[in-house]
Structure 1
């Protein structure tokens, strides 16, 4: 009896101590509540598993692994200095993000918002207070320098299922939110240092995942990893996690669905990531081309591999596209087999697209789903069979994806029309015309650039409003019709993910536009002034205060 009492008291002390430790971690960084307890296996060139073992023991089991110093001798690790890249790949374009993933607006490149050429980037990314981070498709011309590790690329089906290749490059000081990616990936650090925290997918229920469409296989947590609110997110303390550091030449196998948190340091922090198929439910895949004595010492050049979505370094980017085999061929084949007995007509294909590929009412497409049927009806007999689906080429599947996949604003040169939301531009424009008797270019551009935009896009609005009048026009002469004409492209490329509006803006929305405008449109004093000047579209000043708090 005494022993039971002593044991009970001891357990109570442990519980109280644990609760006290957890309470002390309120508003502290992720992981404060307990040390990392999940080991991640490490390999070198000498003991790395052959591709089949790597697939069976790690990829199919969704088990992370680190490969130390395996790409240190690759051309990319040896040659990719600022000078070399500027000289050899300077005209190539890349996508830009802010170093901190919680920042809404992307940085400005030499010409565009969220996009830059590598020559300009290498000249500017070391500047003080520079917030620029390349998170982009790797231009195809750079593939030749990238070495692919033997455990993944020596032979076998994994090496034939690379979906896309990405580049991550900054001057250090980057930090991510807690998130997961859709695909498996081999992430290789070519320069600098990165600090990783990994969370297995089985702990997702404790991560307070941000609500998203069921079509999304990636995702992120609503938790702020720098200061976790344990009152709001108490279950975080139930998560077991891993922690490790990657150095130049190291590669990480990051399984699909693994949540991770990454920060970087080093004035030249550069990584390349190979994203490959998920292989959901596949216990075994094809390794028939693997020889008995596999060369596990030599890297293969990425240029020797077929990559589904290749980026030429100009034009529309392809980052974030779907797996052609798993998302298109397999889904089409299964639907045709199940719903049509391996034979289906045009209406059946359109129904499948609506059911399997349309994530919500607000989906925007560049393509036209009506063009899909002629692509997949290879013999033009008015039906699509399982055999035809299996005979589609990679180019056929790319054409199908082009007609189906949602419009991604950050992939195009005119990203600015979407990411600088219509309502902010509209409010800033109306403020200028109400405040200043003459609508002048310099005044307008000052306000537009304050929104985060570029002068060239701001000039488009100005020139549409005033024509060739370089001195400006009377604000009273600018009609409502002219305003909507000037902002035509902000309506055309309006995207819900960047806007506070629930639908594409129309002239009937004038009142809601004032309430929806973000904090960049006009400051609070200007908002109060507008209340007095604009009749029929006023917003109480405390609404702007509340909106500021929300944003």
Structure 2
């Protein structure tokens, strides 16, 4: 039997409860007549109208992500790649995603990477394969030859997620927007994504920028601006690996209540398209139900664009084999990008700026020493050119607390991994720098 407290307003409640020993009182001011109960364990919430039927007042509850409100629209789309300077100013610096329509069609691998060609050319190489097409961060990887994967992938729930083999680099290009200005020096990791379609990723964000090029199939994305961090990460967010535990197929808006107000953008990729996903943007990716092959390239967030660097670069299609990619361990550029990101809106950096940004976790004398080491012309200001040419790993060895806001154990591990000036690497298990093989 249900009891409802009377209200001065017609069909409005001041409060309601349900006669059960494990129910507790819930105060409501603007709900339809009926009962609402929070169970004693605090884990569930239900509403019922006077007839006893479920009354769900939340649009999108237990429906796929994006059902809670209409999309804000589609992200920007342009034909082909744009120039590096425009890319930096309009999209990287502004934190805006964009689709480069048809840009992948100029990549040699776009035409050549048929199953037959991949089997004949790279079939003996071992690749990493996930079991299941809906992403599960706890699953283990299979290690198959590419030939064995190709023999079964269209009939089994398998998803190849493999770092680009060095032997494949010559068939890929560095996207035109990344060929100068400093982008070409901050390449982190390249990954191949290959399945028979029907894959789904968790909702996640990357700690670096990303360009993904689709060679075959279709991908649909839901994208959420990084400025929604307080809502997306309010509940059920795994900060160590930067993903939400929300079920993208059935969003529980009682548990993930903050998602009710989250705006989102849609992105549709077709064969031949390339997509830029800015650092920190949350996204989930669903592939179409046919052969799906894509290559993505992660790169550190560029804090300053070197305009003079582009004057000597005129190649539209430059082989990826001509560039260094840091790989799974990451690179010094990630440290540089993270450490100096507080100053990105400044034309130059003063000692006061550094003190304000770092004094909460670094020693004042160490900050002074870092400033002095970087300020090569001793003009009392650090230019972005000085920042981008500074020996960051030397600074990490001498003043780790300035550039790394991390536990002592992690800093010691990092310092141990710095082998010599020709092989700067970072720890493989560091939560800040290891790259998860999230889709996109």
TM-score by length of 2: 0.67
**Corresponding residue for residue 117 of structure 1:** 145
Does the C-alpha gap of structure 1 residues 329 and 84 become closer, same or farther in structure 2, counting only changes over 3 Å?
A: same
Report the equivalent of 1:25: 60
Partner of 2:254: 231
CA–CA distance in structure 1, aligned partners of residues 137 and 423 of structure 2: 38
1:184 corresponds to which of 180, 200, 209: 209
- The question of whether the paired residues in 1 share the 8 Å contact of 2:366 and 2:399 is answered with no
TM-fit CA distance, 1:147: 2.9
Distance 2:269 2:428 in 1: 35
Larger Rg: 1
The 5-angstrom pairing of residues 9-158 of structure 1 reads 23-45=58-80, 48-98=81-131, 99-102=133-136, 104-106=138-140, 113-127=141-155, 130-153=156-179, 155-158=180-183
Aligned to 1:201: 226
Call closer, same or farther: CA 1:75–1:266 in 2, change over 3 Å: farther
1:246-395 to 2 correspondence within 5 Å?
A: 246-279=269-302, 282=303, 284-291=304-311, 294=314, 298-309=316-327, 318=328, 321-327=329-335, 338=366, 341=369, 349=397, 352=400, 356=404, 371=416, 375=419, 392=421, 395=422
Question: What SS does structure 2 have at the residue aligned with 1:253?
Answer: strand
Deviation at 1:237, TM superposition (A): 1.8
Aligned length: 337
- Aligned residue for 1:162? 187
In the TM superposition, what is the alpha-carbon distance from 1:97 to its structure 2 partner? 1.9
Partner in structure 1 of residue 27 of structure 2: none
Are the equivalent residues in 2 in contact too, given 1:71–1:299 (CA < 8 A)?
Answer: no
Deviations 1:379-438 (A, max 9, x none): xxxxxxxxxxxxx3xx3313xx2xx44289xx9xxxxxxxxxxxxxxxxxxxxxxxxxxx
**Partner Cα separation in structure 1 for residue 96 and residue 337 of structure 2:** 27
CA distance in 1, matches of 2:56, 2:97: 29
Maintained 8 Å contact 2:130/2:142: yes
The answer on whether the counterparts of 2:335 and 2:403 sit within 8 Å (CA) in structure 1 is no
Distance 1:242 1:372, change over 3 A: closer
Contact 1:72–1:249 under 8 Å retained in 2: yes
Distance 2:83 2:312 in 1: 10
Distance in 1, matches of 2:311 and 2:336, equals 31
Change in CA separation of 1:133 and 1:209 when aligned onto 2, cut-off 3 Å: farther
**For the Cα contact (< 8 Å) 1:210–1:219, is it kept in 2?**
no
- 1:173 and 2:201 aligned: no
Within 2, Cα distance between the matches of 1:265 and 1:141? 28
Higher strand proportion: 2
Structure in which a larger fraction of residues adopt helix:
1
Moved more, 75-84 or 228-237: 228-237
Inter-partner Cα distance in structure 1 for 2:157 and 2:250: 21
CA offset at residue 260 of structure 1?
A: 0.4
Over aligned residues, Cα RMSD in angstroms?
Answer: 3.7
Whether the 8 Å contact between 1:174 and 1:263 is mirrored in structure 2 is yes
Task: Measure the CA separation in 2 of the matches of 1:225 and 1:330.
Answer: 30
User: Which whole-Å CA distance do the structure 2 matches of 1:326 and 1:369 have between them?
Assistant: 13
Unmatched 5+ stretches in structure 1: 1-14, 107-112, 310-317, 377-391, 412-551
Residues 360 and 81 from structure 1, CA distance in 2 versus in 1: closer, same or farther, beyond 3 angstroms?
farther
User: TM-score normalised to the size of structure 1?
Assistant: 0.54
